[in-house]
Amino acid sequence: MSLQSLFDLQASRNPKHRAFLEKRFASMDSAEIACCNELVDNISRLAGDRLEEFLEGYDFICKIQFEEEIFFRRNKRYRLTKFSDALEQVYANKPYMLKYMRGLLISQVFWSNHTKSIDYYSRVFLAQLEEKTTLLEIGPGHGLLLARAVDRLSDGSVTAWDISEASLEDTRKCLQALGVTKSFKLEAKNLFDPNTDSFDAIVFSEVLEHVEEPAQAMAAIRNCLNKNGKLFVNVPINSPAPDHLFLIRSPEEAVEFVESCGFSVLQSGFYPATNYTLEQCRKHDLTISVCMIAGLA
């Protein structure tokens, strides 16, 4: 499947979305095109003969994100603040979660801030790591980042933690579909439980916004990072979603938060919502994906 064919399929099933996608793809540079082509290959492998269901999932998340955006504009906050509410309304609803996760996979191509975040992770963060690095990812999801880490760290080790055995089984199946043959470890583990493991690199991508106690989460991560290790954090700001709890209102606030938790942010990339500039997103409190590479302070 090509990038153009994915675009044509989505535009034909939802003509109202065509102008959005046309504008999005017209602005891509060569690096983003290359990343998108790789992601389309990943999607093709993961979706198989069920691609239509994944495109339906994308329409689903566009609809629910729009509803959450209306609440956010009216109330200047996210709808939920408690993990227990997100668990009841989102995570425990299997049909809802299935559509949600399928749609999020498609968004990695259709939403430029998602594409650029993955590109930054691969091109900047992973490129800095030695091949013998021990890496932990917390909340691996579809395994898109994990697969790239396994491929990059040929002499190291890659581990992923998730609190859900079912989620880890889904991750395992995704990695198999992506053709990952090198060894990796998936562990059912709660970040907040006592732990003595330590790693040279930790990935915490698009998880912080789902956490009810973000400072405690960062403290737990700090305890797992080796002295000269590096942390990759990707957190969206002003990003209303049905399971987002922790609201950050500017890129600078994101950096300040990470540094207040005992880290030093060494590099960062700010990626605005699709078809907007960074200045527009700042002015109108629109979504910006904030990617940070940090070390211990």
Nearest to 59 by CA among 101, 11, 103: 103
Query: Looking at residue 271, what is its pLDDT?
Result: 98
Task: Answer whether residue 194 shows pLDDT above 90.
Answer: no
Query: Looking at residue 219, what is its pLDDT?
Result: 97
Nearest to 112 by CA among 232, 276, 285: 276
Q: What is the pLDDT of residues 92-121, one digit of tens each?
A: 999 999 999 999 999 999 999 999 999 999
Question: For a pLDDT cut of 70, what percent of the chain falls above it?
Answer: 100
Task: Answer whether residue 195 shows pLDDT above 90.
Answer: no
Least trusted range by pLDDT, from 84-88, 164-168, 274-278: 164-168
Q: Which CATH superfamily is domain 130-296 in?
A: Vaccinia Virus protein VP39 (3.40.50.150)
Query: Looking at residue 154, what is its pLDDT?
Result: 87
Mean pLDDT of 181-186: 92
Q: CB–CB of 195/221 below 8 Å?
A: no
Q: What is the pLDDT of residues 21-34, one digit of tens each?
A: 999 999 898 889 99
Question: For a pLDDT cut of 90, what percent of the chain falls above it?
Answer: 93
Query: Looking at residue 33, what is its pLDDT?
Result: 93
What mean pLDDT, rounded, does the chain reach?
95
Q: What is the pLDDT of residues 133-155, one digit of tens each?
A: 999 999 999 999 999 999 999 89
Q: What is the pTM of this model?
A: 0.96
Query: Looking at residue 196, what is its pLDDT?
Result: 86
Domain ranges of the chain: 3-110, 130-296
Q: Provide CB contacts within 8 A for 172, sequence distance 6+.
A: 186
Mean pLDDT of 188-192: 92
Q: What is the CA radius of gyration of the chain?
A: 18
In the structure, what pLDDT confidence band is assigned to residue 166 with cuts at 50, 70 and 90? confident
